[in-house]
Structure 1
Amino acid sequence: MILPGASDTASSVSRQVQSEWVDLLGELEAVKNTVTATQGRLVVALEEATKADEARQSIRAERRGRGVPSQVGSAMQASPHAGAVFLGTARVWVTGMPHTFDALRTGVLSAWRATLMVRETSHLSAEDRARIDEEICGPAGRAALVRMGTKRLVARVKELAAQLDVHACVKRNAKAVSERCVSVRPAPDLMVYLTALVPMRQGVQAYAQLKAHADATKAAGDERGAGQIMADTLIERVTGRDPGHADDVPVTINLLVSDQTLLAGGDQPAVVLEGAAAGAGTVPGPLVRNLVAHGLDADAAWLRAIYVDPRGRLLATTSTSRFHPQGLAQLLRARGQGICGTSWCDAPIRHLDHVVPHAEGGATSLVNGQGLCVRCNHAKQAPGWSQKVAEVDGRHAVETTMPTGHTSVSVAPTPPVPVTPTAGVYASTGSQSSGLVRGPDLVSEPVPVREPDPVRDEVPDGAGQPAPAWTPAVGVSGPPPGRIPRSRYSIGCHTGRDRGAIAYRPPRNTGPGRRPPRHTRPADLSWAHPPGAHTR
Structure 2
Amino acid sequence: MTRSLAARQARLTAHLDDLQPDASDRSVGAQVALARHESPHRGGRLLSLACTLVDDLPHVLAALDDGLINEHRAEILSTEADHVHSALRPDYDTALGELLATSAPLGDRALRLAAQRIAMRLDDHAATRRRERAHRNRHLTSWRRDDGTTQITAIVSDVHASAIMQSLHQRAAQLKTQPDEDRSTAQIVADLFVSRLTGQTTATASPVAINLVMSAETLLGDGDEPAEVVPMYGGAGGPIPASVARKLVTCAPEMGTRIRRLFADTDQLVAMESTSRTFDGLLRQFITLRDRTCRTPWCNAAIAQHDHITPDQAGGPTSTPNGQGLCTACNQLKEEPGWHHRVLHHYDLDPHHVEITSPAGQTAHSRAPDPPGRIPPEPTWVEQSPGHWVLSA
**TM-score in terms of structure 1 length:** 0.66
Structure number, greater radius of gyration = 1
* Counterpart secondary structure, 2:30: helix
* Counterpart secondary structure, 1:382: coil
CA–CA distance in structure 2, aligned partners of residues 390 and 50 of structure 1 = 29
1:89-104, aligned counterparts within 5 Å? 89-104=49-64
* Aligned position for 2:385: none
| One-letter identity of the residue aligned with 1:375 | A
**Shift in alpha-carbon separation, 1:260–1:212, aligned structure 2, 3 A:** same
CA–CA distance in structure 1, aligned partners of residues 378 and 197 of structure 2 = 41
* Counterpart secondary structure, 1:222: coil
| One-letter identity of the residue aligned with 1:432 | I
1:20-39, aligned counterparts within 5 Å? 31-39=1-9
- Tell me by how many angstroms 1:155 deviates: 3.5
* Counterpart secondary structure, 1:214: helix
- Bigger CA drift: 406-415 or 64-73? 64-73
Which of residues 335, 340, 345 in structure 1 aligns to 2:294?
A: 340
Deviations 1:465-498 (A, max 9, x none): xxxxxxxxxxxxxxxxxxxxxxxxxxxxxxxxxx
* Counterpart secondary structure, 1:67: helix
* Aligned position for 1:183: 141
* Aligned position for 1:45: 15
- Bigger CA drift: 398-407 or 171-180? 171-180
* Aligned position for 2:375: 432
**Shift in alpha-carbon separation, 1:149–1:262, aligned structure 2, 3 A:** closer
CA–CA distance in structure 1, aligned partners of residues 264 and 226 of structure 2 = 14
| One-letter identity of the residue aligned with 1:368 | N
The share of aligned pairs that are identical, in percent, is 33
* Aligned position for 2:263: 307
Deviations 1:331-371 (A, max 9, x none): 1111112x001111111111111222222222221111111
* Counterpart secondary structure, 1:409: strand
- Tell me by how many angstroms 1:93 deviates: 0.8
- Are 2:200 and 1:223 aligned? no
* Aligned position for 2:342: 388
CA–CA distance in structure 2, aligned partners of residues 106 and 131 of structure 1 = 21
CA–CA distance in structure 1, aligned partners of residues 234 and 125 of structure 2 = 39
* Counterpart secondary structure, 1:154: helix
| One-letter identity of the residue aligned with 2:121 | Q
1:132-211, aligned counterparts within 5 Å? 132-137=92-97, 143-145=101-103, 147-211=105-169
| One-letter identity of the residue aligned with 2:285 | Q
* Aligned position for 1:105: 65
Contact 1:257 1:416 in 2 (8 A): yes
- Tell me by how many angstroms 1:191 deviates: 1.8
* Aligned position for 1:79: 39
Which of residues 243, 249, 254 in structure 2 aligns to 1:292?
A: 249
**Shift in alpha-carbon separation, 1:84–1:254, aligned structure 2, 3 A:** same
- Tell me by how many angstroms 1:190 deviates: 2.7
* Counterpart secondary structure, 2:354: strand
Contact 1:354 1:368 in 2 (8 A): yes
Contact 2:142 2:234 in 1 (8 A): no
| One-letter identity of the residue aligned with 1:43 | T
**Shift in alpha-carbon separation, 1:248–1:225, aligned structure 2, 3 A:** same
Deviations 1:20-65 (A, max 9, x none): xxxxxxxxxxx2212222222222222222234x5xxxxxxxxx34
Contact 1:414 1:434 in 2 (8 A): no
* Counterpart secondary structure, 1:120: helix
Residue ranges of structure 2 left out of the alignment (5+ in a row): 380-393
| One-letter identity of the residue aligned with 1:278 | G
**Shift in alpha-carbon separation, 1:273–1:383, aligned structure 2, 3 A:** same
* Aligned position for 2:230: 273
CA–CA distance in structure 1, aligned partners of residues 111 and 223 of structure 2 = 55
Contact 1:185 1:276 in 2 (8 A): no
* Aligned position for 2:75: 115
Contact 1:50 1:65 in 2 (8 A): no
Which of residues 316, 333, 337 in structure 2 aligns to 1:362?
A: 316
Contact 2:25 2:44 in 1 (8 A): no
CA–CA distance in structure 2, aligned partners of residues 388 and 159 of structure 1 = 49
Contact 1:414 1:435 in 2 (8 A): no
**Shift in alpha-carbon separation, 1:211–1:325, aligned structure 2, 3 A:** closer
**Shift in alpha-carbon separation, 1:141–1:406, aligned structure 2, 3 A:** same
* Two-structure CA RMSD over aligned residues (Å): 2.3
* Counterpart secondary structure, 2:13: helix
* Aligned position for 2:388: none
* Aligned position for 2:281: 326
